[in-house]
Amino acid sequence: MISKEQIAADYQQIQDEICAALELTDGNAHFEEELWEREGGGGGRTRIIQNGNIFEKGGVNFSAVHGTLPHTMKKALNVEQDDFFATGVSIVIHPNHPMVPIIHMNIRYFEMPSSFSSDQPVRWFGGGIDLTPHYVIEDDARFFHGYLKSVCDQFYHDFYHRFKLWADDYFFIKHRDETRGIGGIFYDRLTANEELSWEQILEFSKAVGRSFVPIYTELVKRNRNKDFNEDQQAWQYQRRSRYTEFNLVYDAGTRFGLETNGRIESILMSLPPTAKWVYNYHPVPGSEEEKTLSLLKKGINWV
């Protein structure tokens, strides 16, 4: 098994690759970097891009932290051990253009020493990519899910199927009875077994990370030059309010960060630059907005 240091180094490299590609795509804005240290051990590189040609606000964050698990985290993770190591890359991008989707990607690795010193450490991988179009464009949705399926299929035959269902369930705004977007893949506590080695799972994790750039640059390219009007921008801001609701009410990572005194500005970089809440909004029958709402449902098969 590759060391945790190697995994963190691989993740850092993926962060570098993604930031370079996004700056190239934007053509104007550059990432600002904030290096931070965690009191209990470790730290991170928060990188934020703002007010670009394409990207209104986005973060591509790396962190590698270690230390003693707070009691609440032990309970939440259902583990007994006190020491932990966690590393990951997290991305959320809010574009200017209402036809360009919001995207989220995360790859992460978690490790704890076993309670018995002779044993292997307890460890797992988690992550995923999901897409939140302000307007669901069916061709784009098929491209997105098709790409993810092709990545998953290189590693295990049921990964796409399982992780797509998991994303549908996870990225769900219960009180609105709607999904956050068109889903994608989500997985957690992925461990080696007879069929997959740790090395293969690490490669899968890196492949998910490296699928971000080709997927998102394609979606930006397809939509960035479309015309849009003020009503469509207002709708974009409304969709962002739903994104905010999901992240503050349900997202496990966000709530975990808030409860364990993480670096607030890194955790909440996922929140949109502008969001609007309109009372009792109902889309015009037959409109594109209504069509989008009809597609924010679990269980749609895009491939």
The distance of closest approach from Cβ of residue 252 to a copy of itself in the complex, given in angstroms and rounded to an integer, is: 14
Residues 149-188 that bind a copy of itself (CB under 8 A): 174-176
| Nearest alpha carbon to residue 55 among 85, 83, 92, 87 | 92
Query: With binding defined as CB under 8 A, does residue 279 bind a copy of itself?
Result: yes
Of 197 and 274, nearer to a copy of itself (C-beta) is 274
3-state secondary structure of 2: coil
Contact pick of 2, 24, 252, 278 for a copy of itself (by CB under 8 A): 278
Residue 240 Cβ vs a copy of itself, minimum distance, rounded to whole Å: 9
Residue span binding a copy of itself (CB under 8 A) among the ranges 68-76, 200-208, 264-272, 283-291: 264-272
Report the nearest approach of a copy of itself to the CB of residue 241 (Å).
7
Quick one: 50 or 217, whose CB is closer to a copy of itself? 50
Q: How far apart are CA 90 and CA 208, in angstroms?
A: 12
**Closest residue by Cα to residue 110 from 13, 255, 11, 246:** 11
Q: Using CB under 8 A, pick the residue from 34, 188, 203, 218 that binds a copy of itself.
A: 34
Please tell me whether residue 38 binds a copy of itself under the rule CB under 8 A: no
Q: Is 293 in the site for a copy of itself (CB under 8 A)?
A: no
Q: Which residue has the tokens 């490296």?
A: 210
What count of other Cβ atoms lies within 10 Å of the Cβ of residue 285?
6
Helix (H) or strand (E) holding 8, with range, is: helix 4-26
| Token representation of residue 296 | 């924010």
Nearest residue (CB) to a copy of itself, 133 versus 272: 272
Reference 151, options 109, 112, 185; nearest CA is 185
**What is the rounded CA–CA span in Å between residue 48 and residue 31?**
5
CA dihedral in degrees (181, 225, 211, 296; nearest 10)? 10
Instruction: Decide if residue 226 touches a copy of itself (CB under 8 A).
Output: no
Interior/surface letters 38-49, b for 16+ CB within 10 angstroms, e for the rest? beeebbbbbbbb
Residue 30 appears among annotated catalytic residues: no
State the number of binding residues for a copy of itself (CB under 8 A): 31
- Smallest separation, CB 248 to a copy of itself (Å): 4
Task: Give the active site residue among 94, 97, 104, 145.
Answer: 104
Which one of 50, 53, 96, 200 is in contact with a copy of itself (CB under 8 A)? Answer: 50
Q: What is the rounded CA–CA span in Å between residue 226 and residue 162? A: 35
What residues are annotated to the active site?
104
Q: Which residues bind a copy of itself (CB under 8 A)?
A: 34, 48, 50, 57, 59, 174-176, 237, 241, 244-245, 248-249, 255, 258, 261, 264-265, 268-269, 271-280
